[in-house]
Amino acid sequence: MSKQFDIAVLVGSLRKHSLNRLLAQEVAVLSPASLALQLIEIGDVPLYNDDWDLDPPSAWVSLRSRIARADGVLFVSPEYNRSIPAALKNAIDVLSRPYGKNALDAKPAAIITTSPGALGGFGANHHLRQVLMCLNVRTLPTPEAYIGNAANLFDERGKLVEPNVSEFLTNFMLSFEEWVQALGPRR
């Protein structure tokens, strides 16, 4: 097989039964074999504080090195009050520092937002795009992924049961694979 790309997945929800977490797990299954997805936990990442960068907490060090060696990042997030959850923003802030050592620099990325509401986290999706822009993240422009009515997409085992959504996400991940291939791995 040709090269496998290492894709770090950051889920914006910390909830055990998160719809976004379920979706991310399903996306890992339906992604092309050339993408190896791994969920990276961000719930125990201390809030960013410049003072601590003289002797950074171990959770910052490991998050930064894990993302720095990834070939790409997939963000799967809910919308909180028309923006992204604080936990995800904090993880991004930690990754962006210290100044000049942005672990996300030039990284290929893609965004999926998921909501039980009809709009599929549109506001969060675009806030996240804006944040990633100033960090020089190469975010996949299209297709865009706003997954609405998400409470009805899974069976009791957490499996995606809506074929249209599965097909959409399969094609979305094929587009992301092309995007990662085109931009090349960053080592």
Nearest in space to 77 (alpha carbons), one of 69, 65, 85? 85
Determine if the peptide bond prior to 98 is cis (ω within 30°): yes
Q: Based on CB atoms, which residue is closest to ligand FMN, 26 or 79?
A: 79
Q: Is 149 in the site for ligand FMN (CB under 6 A)?
A: no
Contact between 112 and ligand FMN per CB under 6 A: no
Distances (CA, A) of 1 to 4, 65, 154: 8, 26, 32
Stretch that binds ligand FMN, among 46-54, 72-80, 101-109, 133-141 (CB under 6 A): 72-80
CA distance 113 to 122: 7
Q: Which amino acid is at 104?
A: L
Q: Is 96 in the site for ligand FMN (CB under 6 A)?
A: no
State yes or no: residue 20 binds ligand FMN (CB under 6 A): yes
Interface with ligand FMN includes 79 (CB under 6 A)?
A: yes
Given candidates 37, 71, 74, 78, which one binds ligand FMN under the rule CB under 6 A?
Answer: 78
Given the complex with ligand FMN, which of 51 and 156 has the nearer CB atom? 156
Rounded Cα distance between 45 and 73, Å, is 17
Q: For ligand FMN, give the closer residue by CB, 96 or 114.
A: 114
Q: Are the C-beta atoms of residues 179 and 108 closer than 8 Å to each other?
A: yes
- Considering only residues 5, 7, 9, 13, which one is a binding residue for ligand FMN as defined by CB under 6 A? 13
